[in-house]
Structure 1
Amino acid sequence: MATPRVLVVGIDGVRLDLLPLLDTPHLDGLANAGFLAPVHIDDGTPTMSGPCWTTIVTGVGVAKHGVWGNNFTGNRLGVFPDFTTRLATEHGLRTFAAGGWEPLFLARQGGPVFAAPSRLAYIAPREDSPQAWEECDRSVTAEAVRALSSGEDLDASFVYLGAVDETAHFLGCGPEYRRAIEAADRRLGQLLTALRERPDARAEEWTVIAVTDHGHRDEGGHGGRSPLERTAWIAASGPGLTPSTRPDSLRHADVAAHVYAALGIAPDPHWTLDGRPFPTLTPQTA
């Protein structure tokens, strides 16, 4: 039996309405093999990176995890940890998390979200600019490719790419923003290639999930209640996920729930997850 593995790629701030207009062959490949479905951020969740990413990786909403903005002070991540921490500390699995946004990876501002994965790679941008964030994402991707292609026994991984969001904040959602989305898609392709080139690739079954946290207004910016800001998306492929199982809409909390299901782990009732696994052709072992 093939060993189940999961890779989640978080691409910050990608508008769903622009994807059909762009050259994103790797996201398209995930969608064609599985699905790409919209996420409507619920009315009680601020359209900010902190709350949305925390919901994505913990499987619970803001009322439980307590992250209401990009300052994580007062969070309840000790009760509702991210999936890389829970899998490593409670199930003895090997997990990996990589990225450059400080609150996710460093113990500052009330964080980090990724408290105790088996392995963590934090690579900070040299400054807060679109160019520096592109360099950061290149370095994060290269580090993740090294980890994933090495054959290391990684059961679940999370890779964060932040340049798209930063480009929108500085330059709006014009040509530079669209090029940043296409660059992020190329980095997704590098990660997918790393999975195919693993020494034991034929003995592994990978679930790959790509997800964004929020959208942007045309001029750049988010945090409000407009449809452009409140619309996110999830793309996924893997065992049991085919175009015939494509859901009409999903919730951010479903990502962590599906990570556990894909690994054959039944959530303990005390986790009180708000998410559910994605619809599949055959039930996940749990």
Structure 2
Amino acid sequence: MPNALLSPTPAARTRILLIGIDGLRWDLTADSTAAPTLRAMAEEGHLMPMTMEVPTMSGPGWSSILTGTTHAQHGIRDNSFVGHRLHHHPDLLSRAFYQDQTTRTFAAAGWPPLVSPDGLGPVVHQRAEQQKAGLHTVVARDGEVHGFVRIDAEITDFALAALTSHRSPDVSFVYFCDVDDAGHVYGARTEEYQAALSRVDRHVARLRHAVHTRAVDHGEDWLVVIVADHGHLDEGGHGGDTPEERTSFILRWSPTLPLGTWPDEVAPNELLELILAEREPAR
């Protein structure tokens, strides 16, 4: 019988924080004084463009990003979610749990179709048994009712509480919609859009600080991935096939880890597998 004291300790998996910023155009962020945190993370990490599939709407876009499937596969063509096949396509958090069933997962969003079982989705599976076991936490709020300025701030507070707890999640998805809301109401090239960008940038700064603190104080490996689901026309709005609407990006940042090489071009439905591969322990 092998001596348990001599058995090797399993290598720790990299912890993942996926941040979704709805409707963010990076070209309006790159030189903006409203986004010092995002700009610094891009300079310290790795930024690459991503082109979204048409129609460029949140339902199809986030479903492709979070489930690793195309529009044709998940069946979502707009924000009504009519005819979706999400039950057949596990999301990133579910896939991470199936990869290692000790994995703790966390999701927080203010757009109900992403996380709420009482709405049109949800894209993120509820996994009730894992919730009961304390392995999966879902925070669902409604920014369309209460306003995304308030709700994004609440989402940040919930995410920070999770990230700083003694049972910090291994894989998380945190979603912000203030920028997209401002784009719809005021347009993308407006002071209001930049003000929303500033608010979200401050939310991201708080999350980055929490991740950095955990990495340094606890010796944990962390990867933060930030992504958008579509862009916006200058006058506001999206759904079509213009470059302004199809534009997205992938920003990778880690407080301690060297960033591995990813393909030069990544489709929205390919992102999930790349993130899961980052979870594999070094051998």
Q: Compare 139-148 and 79-88 and name the one that shifted more.
A: 79-88
**Counterpart in the other structure of 1:192:** 208
**Counterpart in the other structure of 1:53:** 62
Report the Cα offset of residue 107 of structure 1.
2.4
Q: Tell me, in whole angstroms, the C-alpha distance in 2 between the residues paired with 1:46 and 1:38.
A: 18
Residue identity in the other structure for 1:16: W
Output aligned runs, 1:141-152, within 5 Å: 141-152=156-167
- Alignment match of 1:102 (pick from 97, 101, 112): 112
- Structure 1 regions of 5+ residues with no counterpart? 266-283
- Structure 2 regions of 5+ residues with no counterpart? 1-10, 128-135
Matched, 1:16 2:26: yes
Matched, 1:34 2:45: yes
Larger radius of gyration: 2
Q: Tell me, in whole angstroms, the C-alpha distance in 1 between the residues paired with 2:27 and 2:140.
A: 31
Output aligned runs, 1:130-169, within 5 Å: 132-169=147-184
Q: Tell me, in whole angstroms, the C-alpha distance in 2 between the residues paired with 1:254 and 1:229.
A: 19
Aligned length: 260
Residues 150 and 109 of structure 1: CA distance in aligned 2, closer, same or farther (over 3 Å): closer
- Alignment match of 1:122 (pick from 140, 148, 154): 140
Residues 249 and 154 of structure 1: CA distance in aligned 2, closer, same or farther (over 3 Å): same
Q: Tell me, in whole angstroms, the C-alpha distance in 2 between the residues paired with 1:90 and 1:236.
A: 22
Matched, 1:227 2:236: no
Residues 64 and 155 of structure 1: CA distance in aligned 2, closer, same or farther (over 3 Å): same
Q: Tell me, in whole angstroms, the C-alpha distance in 2 between the residues paired with 1:226 and 1:259.
A: 28
SS where residue 210 of structure 2 aligns?
helix
- Kept in 1, the 8 Å contact 2:162–2:168? The answer is no
Report the Cα offset of residue 232 of structure 1.
0.8
Q: Tell me, in whole angstroms, the C-alpha distance in 2 between the residues paired with 1:87 and 1:53.
A: 17
Q: Tell me, in whole angstroms, the C-alpha distance in 2 between the residues paired with 1:59 and 1:30.
A: 25
**Counterpart in the other structure of 1:274:** none
Residue identity in the other structure for 1:162: C
Matched, 1:241 2:249: no
Q: Tell me, in whole angstroms, the C-alpha distance in 1 between the residues paired with 2:39 and 2:270.
A: 21
Over the matched positions of the two proteins, sequence identity in percent amounts to: 37
The TM-score, its normalising length taken from structure 1, stands at 0.84
Q: Compare 152-161 and 246-255 and name the one that shifted more.
A: 246-255
**Counterpart in the other structure of 2:7:** none
Q: Tell me, in whole angstroms, the C-alpha distance in 1 between the residues paired with 2:40 and 2:274.
A: 19
Residues 73 and 108 of structure 1: CA distance in aligned 2, closer, same or farther (over 3 Å): farther
